[in-house]
Amino acid sequence: MTENKSIIDLAMAGKRGGEAPTSVPTSARPPKESNTEHHDVLKKLLEKVESKIAWAPLELPSRGVFSASHAESIQIRPFTFEDEKILRSINKLADADRVIVELIKRCTKGLEYDGLPLVDKNYILYKLREISYGDSYKIEVPCPECSTPNELIVNLSQLPVNFADRSVERKYEITLPDSEVTVKYRVPTTLDEKYLQSPAAMMDNLWKLLVSIDGHTERIIVQGFVSKTTAKDISHIRNAILDDDLGIQTKVGFICNSCSSDSRVDLPINESFFNVN
């Protein structure tokens, strides 16, 4: 394998065997600029950047209604060079979740991450992408009717966001179709994220997201009910937990370039999500 050499390496190699390079007398060397001069130069170069990486307020979709310990709004800033380095350090899928959590914590103030409703986390993630890399997000989605790939450009700032109304009590309960019992459930948070990483994980842990079954809160009853009721009941519970109308709405509509069918799909997060399109 040929060793990669810099211009300096090649220049030094050309001098080998000849005279040793004459050192520059100390008195002939240009004086070093002071730290103050360097600081002033950098400040001048970055004067238009400072306002673009400043902290800005961000109202959260949950508005803190699910927990007294969570704020209605936080401070947020775009990624910097150091954040970009952390992002590009992801070498495998297992690293991605850890890095995303670290970046959210670095780029927000006033946020209690543990127990943060997932509707808020998702919103923060989309906002970080928008303010760091721009509003435009290019995706390719297959048509649900004919499977033809369609290239779309989505303006993230135009996605609708539903905020909680603090004056209206939201009831997280449903009546199941087969058992006809009332199930109370809770909003998933970052502490529950591991239960939702796959369909299998959710089925194994669905009972942990339930508060009561017809008023019964005992674990043995809740867990036993989930394991013995019908698939139709379970489907209703799962849909109620996952299809909350709060937060950023990521379904986008398009007309297929090939068959002209009008479709709506979930906005995917692909490899270009954290990039300039």
pLDDT (tens digit per residue) in 120-159: 999 999 999 999 999 999 999 999 999 999 999 999 999 9
Which pLDDT score is estimated for 8? 36
Quick: pLDDT tens for 152-172. 999 999 999 999 987 777 789
Task: Specify if 208 maps to a domain.
Answer: yes
Instruction: Please tell me the total count of domains within the chain.
Output: 2
Q: How confident is the model at residue 40 (pLDDT cuts 50, 70, 90)?
A: confident
The H or E element that residue 202 is part of is helix 199-205
Task: Specify if 33 maps to a domain.
Answer: no
CB distance 75 to 104 below 8 Å: no
Average pLDDT value over all residues in the chain? 86
Q: Containing domain of residue 56, as a range?
A: 52-162+248-266
Residues 79 and 114 in one domain: yes
Residue 28 has pLDDT above 70, yes or no: no
Beta carbons within 10 angstroms of residue 154's beta carbon: 17
Quick: pLDDT tens for 210-223. 999 999 999 999 99
Which pLDDT score is estimated for 254? 95
Residues 132 and 201 in one domain: no
Residues 147 and 94 in one domain: yes
Task: Specify if 32 maps to a domain.
Answer: no
93-106 and 118-133 are packed helices; what angle lies between their axes, rounded to 10 degrees? 80
Tokens 């005279």 belong to which residue?
A: 19
Which whole-number Å values give the CA distances from 239 to 127, 138, 209, 215, 242, in the listed order?
26, 29, 12, 21, 5
Residues 155 and 65 in one domain: yes
Residues 6+ apart with CB under 8 A from 57: 73, 74, 75, 76
Task: Specify if 142 maps to a domain.
Answer: yes
Residues 229 and 125 in one domain: no
Residues 158 and 188 in one domain: no
Residues 238 and 256 in one domain: no
Which pLDDT score is estimated for 32? 57
Residues 107 and 152 in one domain: yes
Which whole-number Å values give the CA distances from 270 to 189, 256, 277, in the listed order?
23, 20, 12
Residues 180 and 153 in one domain: no
Task: Specify if 120 maps to a domain.
Answer: yes
Task: Specify if 275 maps to a domain.
Answer: no
- Sequence-separated contacts (24+) of 112-116 with Cβ below 8 Å: 112/69, 112/70, 112/71, 113/190, 114/190, 114/191, 115/67, 115/69, 115/70, 115/189, 115/190, 115/191, 116/70, 116/189, 116/190
Residue 5 has pLDDT above 90, yes or no: no
